[in-house]
Structure 1
């Protein structure tokens, strides 16, 4: 990460103020995820007032989403994109938890379960989209040297499909990751915490976001929202391989977000 060009080098005090503003805006961008995990910590496993925990979390997630739209933090167009994240995530959950795959499971009862998957689960994927949209607005993000949309869309589609096809024809995530790395090798994201521009390689941003989602996943499994096979007897850390999986999902999510019309104007694609 480095300051934008053409500006006087910041003093230590300015760096500190920029870092404080960066931290605050990151927290604001994570508002959906933060409120969701507040409910995860607060709602006991047996639920509230006779309502199962998974159902309470769904109600809470719907209320938080309504709050974001009502308060103007998200537009109706952005809500459509976030809904797509929810649907794509839920479809992946149904496949991964099916009897033939059993990558993980949701052990508790809920009235709002479909095919063994509680409906609130899609909001965990929607939270990723919400973060990207909020960060784009709060940091006045601009992207330099973005790959052509067609190639970016092809990579995103292949990454998503690999989560399904890996159980039939093998896991090609590292081949696809290398392809995505090549696409975004020159891509940088420019962001503004206060008055100065900073830049970061977009690939590094993907990896960092994936890491923090992996940390959140450890919290979710620790509180028993879902469980991987190696966690059924007692809780254990989520495998590091999930970090790479989340990083690839972040790339897919980012590609969906950039299709929003008002965001495309801030993306530079070299001739």
Structure 2
């Protein structure tokens, strides 16, 4: 069970609900339900942002006095403020969110200037060609990671030294900029991540069971779901890649590599707020066994 001191009040209520009302449910079903509930709760910030993007694409008039981009900024601020005021997020999460805003917005400004992707025109709440709501999309990734860290009481065996992971993450972030001018070394960086994290296992507590899985598999899975969300974002016209200007098409699967590398940066940022902890002595069940 997650450390009660790390949980928000609502999360503690959900934890007690599971203990009280799911105790009679068959073990496998119970663990599956609790896993789904925790994952859905961890995705709350990102899900609300994605919902706002979808709803404004469907129903917000193009000739409205307030530009859609500006409305998305306002909605993002309101969502963030509500989560803090209602204590749905902890103070430590806020630090991670701020870090993701800075890192993400900096990269967005550069990438849009290079034509890697473009946002819909309009609005005044932007920096260069980047609407300010984009920082909240990166913050949604950070919010998810710190939430699963708390909710699943994440532990790690064979976690590499943090200074090594920080060096690789810095190289990844730098390559997002430099590959426009010099050789792109992202495949080498993917290999470096694979070598460093090959032995690392993530131990996560669901309800009664503690399971483990390779961290690299977790990186790939999260990158895949971000790629799905990115397809939703582009089909609603919030931003577009050059290949989608003349008509929408699926975001290239090759973008999974970029999101995999972004996961490395994300995890490193979170570990400097939540240092990796070793697993306890109760033992874990390998989900791949």
Q: Is TM (by shorter chain) over 0.5?
A: yes
Distance 1:75 1:29 in 2: 13
In the other structure, the counterpart of 1:202 is 215
Which of 23, 26, 35 aligns to 1:22? It is 35
Distance 1:29 1:195 in 2: 19
Q: Alpha carbon RMSD of aligned pairs, Å?
A: 1.6
Measure how far apart 1:169 and its partner are. 1.0
The question of whether the paired residues in 2 share the 8 Å contact of 1:18 and 1:193 is answered with yes
Measure how far apart 1:225 and its partner are. 0.2
In the other structure, the counterpart of 2:139 is 126
- Paired residues for 1:104-123 under 5 Å: 104-123=117-136
**Could you say what secondary structure the match of 1:168 adopts?**
coil
Distance 1:121 1:134 in 2: 20
Q: CA separation of 1:240/1:79 partners in 2, compared to 1, >3 Å: closer, same or farther? A: same
Number of aligned positions between the proteins:
253
Deviations 1:160-190, CA, capped at 9 Å, x for gaps: 1110011111211110110111111111111
The question of whether the paired residues in 1 share the 8 Å contact of 2:226 and 2:259 is answered with yes
Measure how far apart 1:75 and its partner are. 2.1
Distance 2:86 2:278 in 1: 27
The question of whether the paired residues in 2 share the 8 Å contact of 1:73 and 1:134 is answered with no
Distance 1:149 1:256 in 2: 10
Distance 1:109 1:97 in 2: 15
Runs (5+) with no aligned partner, structure 1: 1-11
The question of whether the paired residues in 2 share the 8 Å contact of 1:48 and 1:56 is answered with no
Distance 2:276 2:122 in 1: 46
Distance 1:30 1:78 in 2: 14
Q: TM-score, normalised by structure 2?
A: 0.84
The question of whether the paired residues in 1 share the 8 Å contact of 2:219 and 2:260 is answered with yes
Which of 209, 214, 217 aligns to 2:227? It is 214
Deviations 1:22-53, CA, capped at 9 Å, x for gaps: 11110000000111111112114546952111
Which of 170, 187, 195 aligns to 1:174? It is 187
Distance 2:168 2:278 in 1: 18
Q: CA separation of 1:48/1:22 partners in 2, compared to 1, >3 Å: closer, same or farther? A: farther
Q: TM-score, normalised by structure 1?
A: 0.89
Which of 69, 89, 93 aligns to 1:78? It is 93
In the other structure, the counterpart of 1:160 is 173
- Paired residues for 1:28-39 under 5 Å: 28-39=41-52
Measure how far apart 1:76 and its partner are. 2.3
Distance 1:265 1:231 in 2: 40
- Paired residues for 1:58-97 under 5 Å: 58-97=73-112
The question of whether the paired residues in 2 share the 8 Å contact of 1:46 and 1:52 is answered with no
Q: CA separation of 1:52/1:134 partners in 2, compared to 1, >3 Å: closer, same or farther? A: same
